[in-house]
Structure 1
Amino acid sequence: MRLTVNHVTRYSFGAPIARLIQSQRLTPSRCANQQVQSWEVRMEGATRGAAFRDGAGDWTETVTVQGPRDHFEIVVEGTVETQDFAGVLQEHREKVPPSAYLTATDLTRPSQGLRELAGRALEGMGAATPLDRAHALSAMVSDTVQYVPGETDQLTPAAEVLEGGKGVCQDQTHVLITLAQLSGIPARYVTGYLFSAAEEHMSEASHAWAELHVPDLGWVGFDASNRCCPDDRYIRLNSGFDAQDAAPIRGVVSGGGGETLDVRVKIRDADDPAAAQAQQ
């Protein structure tokens, strides 16, 4: 599938800022699952600094904006050809060992409730394959945490998500990572895009899912929000220990009086005649 992306992020500041520094990971991953045909990140009045591929295989770029500025806009546009490998991440070069992703963060820290949930998910599966165990954990999250926007925020930890039983893809991913790590399975947070032709499909401005490390397969994606493994509808951007670590944009602002954020994302099938007409 060929997917086109139009992703606009606009920051509006309550008072003009003196300076803005950002670390951006807005370029799709290099792997066999996807090939970038075109990709551009545009920012008016920004100075691009150091750029490098980090140990997790993600492309990172630093950006500086000098004030005074009352707004800042980032426009990402491109086309990516994707393939369906049943969720298995293939030919993705990275240096961080899978064992590093057995480390919990403040957002994925275990609680007694999460320990009990992991036990229930794998009950009677002592002889099951590692892949089947991973699927069971993902299914348990789908069954336990209902997809409901507006019930959590960016800093809600997995333990609180489980107590409330509601959340969005970020929250379901944090719970799945915690269950996997409690079960001895390395797990990490992935940020990307998801194309959906169905209105009821569960996705947001950007999408998130987990990757669990399975022996003989490597990293395998699990999207608990949509009860599936990532296929050719998904574009992978980057990964991290949790949503904060895997955020495509992180920054520091000097001056200003607070900010508002507006994010708009459109994902289209480039080979769909209706989509092509809509872009004209």
Structure 2
Amino acid sequence: MRLSVRHETRYRFDPPLAHGLQRLRLSPKETHGQQVREWRMKLAGGRVEASYEDHNGNHVTLVSLDPGTAELAIACTGLVDTADRAGVVGPHTGRLPLWVFATQTPLTRPGARMRALIAGLGADRSDRLALLHALSRAVLEAMAYAIGHTDSQTGAEEALAAGKGVCQDHAQVFIGCARALGVPARYVSGYLMMNDRIEQEAGHAWAEAHVDGLGWVGFDVSNAISPDARYVRVASGRDFAEAAPVTGISFGAGRTELSVSLAVEQQAVQQ
């Protein structure tokens, strides 16, 4: 499947910034079942200082904001070919050893509620794939999808206690529980082509867990499926903080307004 992506992120600063740096993880990764045909990034209000690959293998663009800028606009467009591999990404590769993804972070660390959720799983613990599917169902049953109850700083245990969250929260609860079960897991940010719309309000997030014999396998807890050809992987890490599309620092900022425009749709492939 060939997917067209148009993603614009716009920041407005009042008063204008004296100085700012942004770390962008907005360029998709070449991976099993995914080929980037073209990808362009345009900036207004800033300039590219460096591009590099981080320790998770993510494409990172470091951007400095123009002194005195009142608005930063980041526009990404591209075409990505994807395939349905039933969620299987494949063997572990990269700079980090697999055991790193079995260690908890402040955003994924389990508390009493996550431990209780793990204890309630009825799946055979010897069948790792079945156990992970059972975990995905249990997380979704325990947490309704609801916007506005969590933010980027909300940890998995806190989100589970609230019983409400978004894809970021579902993924981090799943990851923290999987690690508590001894299964390496990681967070993935990217795009999902929706069946009922082209224009969307935000990107998407899901989890991947490592299964012997298969490698990394994806679990989209929020949609109760494993990722298929409608998904574009952009960045991954131990939690949201390591795979966030945009992070940064600024000086002289007062009020900041953020607006996002995103469109994902299928394109015809010419033979």
| Corresponding position: 1:140 with 2:119 | no
Q: Given residue 175 of structure 1, which amino acid in structure 2 is its aligned partner?
A: V
Q: Given residue 163 of structure 1, which amino acid in structure 2 is its aligned partner?
A: A
In 2, Cα distance between equivalents of 1:204 and 1:143 = 24
In 2, Cα distance between equivalents of 1:265 and 1:126 = 40
Q: Deviations over 1:76-107 (max 9, x none)?
A: 00011110111111377412112101222222
What is residue 190 of structure 1 aligned with on the other side? 188
In 1, Cα distance between equivalents of 2:142 and 2:211 = 23
Pairing 1:164-203 to 2, within 5 Å after superposition: 164-198=162-196
SS of residue paired to 2:227: coil
- From the superposition, tell whether residues 207 and 93 of structure 1 become closer, same or farther in structure 2 (CA, over 3 Å): same
The question of whether the paired residues in 2 share the 8 Å contact of 1:32 and 1:92 is answered with no
State the Cα distance separating 1:162 from its structure 2 match.
1.4
Q: Given residue 88 of structure 1, which amino acid in structure 2 is its aligned partner?
A: V
In 2, Cα distance between equivalents of 1:31 and 1:60 = 16
In 2, Cα distance between equivalents of 1:247 and 1:114 = 23
Q: Which runs of 4+ in 1 moved over 4 A?
A: none
SS of residue paired to 1:181: helix
The match for 1:156 among 154, 157, 168 is 154
The question of whether the paired residues in 1 share the 8 Å contact of 2:90 and 2:217 is answered with no
The question of whether the paired residues in 2 share the 8 Å contact of 1:31 and 1:92 is answered with no
In 2, Cα distance between equivalents of 1:151 and 1:46 = 32
Percent identity of equivalent pairs: 41
Matched pairs, number: 268
Unaligned runs of 5+ in 2: none
SS of residue paired to 1:69: coil
SS of residue paired to 2:168: helix
What is residue 277 of structure 1 aligned with on the other side? none
- From the superposition, tell whether residues 253 and 182 of structure 1 become closer, same or farther in structure 2 (CA, over 3 Å): same
The question of whether the paired residues in 1 share the 8 Å contact of 2:50 and 2:62 is answered with yes
Q: Given residue 107 of structure 1, which amino acid in structure 2 is its aligned partner?
A: L
What is residue 89 of structure 1 aligned with on the other side? 89
Please report the TM-score for the alignment, with normalisation by the length of structure 1. Answer: 0.91
Unaligned runs of 5+ in 1: 273-280
| Structure 1 vs Structure 2 CA RMSD | 1.8
The question of whether the paired residues in 1 share the 8 Å contact of 2:12 and 2:72 is answered with yes
The match for 1:228 among 212, 225, 228 is 225
